[in-house]
A and B are shown apart, each in its own frame.
Chain A
Amino acid sequence: MNLKAYPEKHSWDWETSTKEIANISDWISSFPEVQEIVISPEGERIAAIVMTEDDVFSVCVNGELWTNTFEKAWSLKFSPNGSLFCIGMNDDEWTVIEEDKPWEDSFDYVWNMKFSPESPGVGVNVRTSEGYGVALNGNPWDSKFVQMRSLEVSPDGKRAAGTVQLTSLAEGDVFSFKKGLWGLAVDGELWGTNFLNVWDCVFSTEGTKVAAEVRLVSGRQTIAVDGIPWDQEFKAVWRPIFVPDGHDVIAPCLTTDGWRLLVNGKSLWNKSFNQAWNTVFSPNGAKLAAVVSPEFGRWTIGVDGNVWKNSFGEVVLAPVFSPDGQRVAAVAKDSGKWTIIVNDVPWIENFDMIWDPAFSPDGLHVAAKAARGSDYFVVVDGKNSNQKFSKLGAPVFSPDGSRLLMKTVEAGRYFRKIVPLKNLL
């Protein structure tokens, strides 16, 4: 597999104000079926799985078809470094295809394509005649399991882990289940400990350790790190995270006085909540934010234990830090309308839907894709550009923060636009 280095945003074209990349209407008139479009991070490519003739599928990229065709294809995605992947099947053999080139190995089934968050690396869950496992960067694990239900790729893209079933279970066998038939496999190697359940797992920053939510016995959950459970047990826990560049683990846990954030089993913030989840560290690891519910039915953000004054009645999504870690933004919903809140100040405008906020490199501006009815908009610092699009990619700030990359579909045509930020403020 060709693992390209991540392109820096500096190398993207930040000068050409408008490029028409593709005429999607032509695709629709050329092919019997055009599936959902995907747009590359730098906006230079747009792609979709298309049916070329009855029961024959391929991928159309900027109007050009891949040479490979498939009986079935799905999960078309651009990786963070801009490579185009999908999962395809011919003759009942499934594999991953990167940029029109299939992996050498094929499998009985392939799903759950995951990219490493910080560097090239792609993994999938696979099923073969020998059992369930993982193929990472084209290389299948040697070991196979009775079942596998998750996949996490390490930040460097070189390791993978997931929840595995260790022995089969007969229908209704509640007694064998109690023995703990589930474990975690890291690079195909099992943790030495079995559990009733193993749920979400996470790698440490440098990828040497793995933490996961586990259930020890009925009614007792905790966090396990490299297979070793915390000493403390709880009625419930949520997904842990590692403190960046370290091995301390933080997780929301349901204690006798409510949900708390704990570090290695000890109280972190001196507060309990009606709910707490979606913990996120700032890029430099100095600050920690989480979605918290200070009282039933109210939702907001807590940063280093300080709970924002503004709260929302319906939902608040995972917080996003500015690059310098000084500001935090999150998607929030109240009274049926979506907006964004930045450092405890909600935007005034609201929408039928809004996507995750993106900070400018200096952290001073926030942009997001939003929708009203079937129209899509770019919103910057709460101000709606009022240009309506029929489809829209996520906006991206230029490295110097002076421009915004907008990926727009208008009247069936896909455009890559570079817009001065000042025009949007």
Chain B
Amino acid sequence: MGLPAIPIVSDPGLDETVKGLTPEKIAKVVNRIIDSETAARFKVYMKTCVHCGLCSDACHWFLSNDRDPRFSPVGKVKQTLWEIIKRKDSLDPAFLKECSRIAHTECNVCRRCSMYCPFGIDIAYLLMVVRRICSELEMVPQFLQDTVNSHSVTMNQMWVKQDEWIDTLQWQEEEAKGEIKTARIPLDKEGADVFYSVIAPEPKILAQLIGNIAQIMAVAKVDWTMPSFDGWDNSNMAMYSGDFETMGRVERYHHEAALKLKARRIVMGECGHAFRGAAYDGPKWLGWKQPPIPLIHAVDFYHELITTGRIKIARKFKTPVTVQEPCNIVRGRGLGKKLREIIAATCEDFTPPYPDFEHNYCCGAGGGVINCGPPWKTSRVKGNEVKAKQLAETKAKIIITPCHNCHSGIEDIISGYKLGMHVKFFSEILMEVMEIPDELRA
């Protein structure tokens, strides 16, 4: 099942930018970040680590690359942060390029390693400090930076223009009405129970998912809205590049859009990193202990709709399925049980992966790694052979992936390892099995 060794690739975002770096520029940024932006947490982690290496077996990169210590979590910290601290005033540009490669493209900041660390050190946080340093020096892989540039301009990750967004919603409302006559996508409705937000790939390339949710909302008779203005995209790759100022602005737009519309709560579509950004990293940068309006992930929402009977299941999905449990909502939020329950309610033949729940492996795409783009695809797929083996062992035909990054990442794994499987969002399963009362049918 193994793929060839990871090739050395060129990435203009790093190869060109590195030419403008000097040890002095690097030292200035490193000292500022270490002295002003990190605090006790950073020092405790750095001083507590005993270099035992027990985190290694947690990492899909390590497991998929012949147990090469360079790919172990502590190995990544050793190659980057330890060196940065050791010789912070004499770091050369080529070293920073290595730091970006390791921190941005070979770690998914999935936090599985924290569970294996005897001290519970948040090793992913340490790699995020490396990313922050790299970002402040503009050493970010080209496609990830382009995504961040899009966030900074448009508040969405795929350069979706304002008119394109609204036009897409209106088109998808028409499509949904073709199936369910009461389906609507109410724009800018004040006081709705649900403010529904998505990530930009939905209007850009997966618009049918918006039409699907319009049908689901109509069947469940949910009082909902989507904004016609910026703040509709809940994703945040700036969080992962290390551009926290852009991250904060994007999150402010998202939460303030819901506040402006006086929504009772935000329901986020099927994306894990977006949930992390909206629930944790974004609010904290802005000064909120928690999101100002209650915020739930789609898995939580579908669980509510199914268990309260607002959505009834007409028939179960027969094809054998397994699940990719998104790190940011299962390990990060504890939604694993609810995810299993909605799968059990809708699918006839489910085989769990092993390991699973919070111990499941990352998809390999999260943490901004898939956004680093085509140059890094080979290493990303090679770096998750363990996932391919895990999925193959389930013998499922369909992998339910309630996360956009997981969805794309697992598709690449399927293709790279020729698994002959397919991925589906949970909403796609629900669309196939939910009961649509005759009086609602168009």
A residues whose Cβ falls under 8 Å from a Cβ of B: 32-33, 35-36, 72, 74-75, 109, 111-112, 125, 127, 147, 149, 165, 171-175, 177, 182, 196-197, 199, 215, 218-219, 221, 235-236, 254, 256, 274-275, 293, 296-297, 299, 313-315, 317, 333, 336, 352-353, 355, 371
Q: A111-B163, A221-B245, A355-B262 are in contact. List 19 more A-B contacts (CB 8 A).
A: A33-B182, A35-B184, A74-B170, A75-B228, A111-B166, A147-B161, A171-B146, A172-B143, A172-B373, A174-B13, A174-B142, A174-B149, A219-B243, A275-B286, A293-B287, A296-B287, A297-B288, A314-B290, A315-B288
Q: Please report the C-alpha to C-alpha distance between residue A5 and residue B189 in the assembled complex, in whole angstroms.
A: 28
Contact of B294 among A33, A36, A175, A336 (CB under 8 A): A336
B residues whose Cβ falls under 8 Å from a Cβ of A: 12-13, 16, 36, 136, 138, 142-143, 145-146, 149, 152-154, 161-163, 166-167, 170, 181-182, 184, 186-191, 228-230, 243, 245, 248-249, 259, 262, 264, 286-290, 292-294, 373
Q: Please report the C-alpha to C-alpha distance between residue A11 and residue B357 in the assembled complex, in whole angstroms.
A: 66
- B146 near A111: Cβ-Cβ < 8 Å: no
Given contacts A111-B228, A314-B290, A336-B294, contact A177 B187 (CB under 8 A): no
Contact of B248 among A32, A72, A147, A236 (CB under 8 A): A236
Q: Counting chain B CB atoms within 10 Å of each CB, which of A218, A296, A317 scores highest?
A: A218
Q: Please report the C-alpha to C-alpha distance between residue A388 and residue B292 in the assembled complex, in whole angstroms.
A: 26
Which chain A residues lie closer than 8 Å to B170 at the CB level? 72, 74
Distance (whole angstroms) from the CB of A67 to the closest CB of chain B: 23
Q: Please report the C-alpha to C-alpha distance between residue A177 and residue B143 in the assembled complex, in whole angstroms.
A: 13
10 smallest beta-carbon distances between A and B, as pairs: A297-B289, A315-B292, A275-B287, A109-B163, A293-B287, A236-B245, A172-B146, A174-B145, A274-B287, A177-B149
Given contacts A74-B187, A218-B138, A274-B287, contact A111 B162 (CB under 8 A): yes
Given contacts A197-B153, A235-B245, contact A314 B288 (CB under 8 A): yes
Distance (whole angstroms) from the CB of A222 to the closest CB of chain B: 12
Q: Please report the C-alpha to C-alpha distance between residue A218 and residue B132 in the assembled complex, in whole angstroms.
A: 13
Q: Counting chain A CB atoms within 10 Å of each CB, which of B181, B182, B191, B230 scores highest?
A: B191
Residue of A nearest to B153 (CB): A197
Q: Please report the C-alpha to C-alpha distance between residue A274 and residue B154 in the assembled complex, in whole angstroms.
A: 26
A-B contacts, 22 of them at CB < 8 A, read A32-B181, A33-B182, A109-B167, A112-B229, A125-B162, A149-B153, A149-B230, A177-B149, A197-B153, A218-B136, A218-B138, A219-B245, A221-B245, A275-B286, A293-B287, A296-B287, A297-B287, A313-B289, A314-B290, A336-B294, A355-B262, A371-B191
Given contacts A74-B187, A315-B292, contact A125 B163 (CB under 8 A): yes
Q: Please report the C-alpha to C-alpha distance between residue A6 and residue B181 in the assembled complex, in whole angstroms.
A: 41
- B146 near A173: Cβ-Cβ < 8 Å: yes
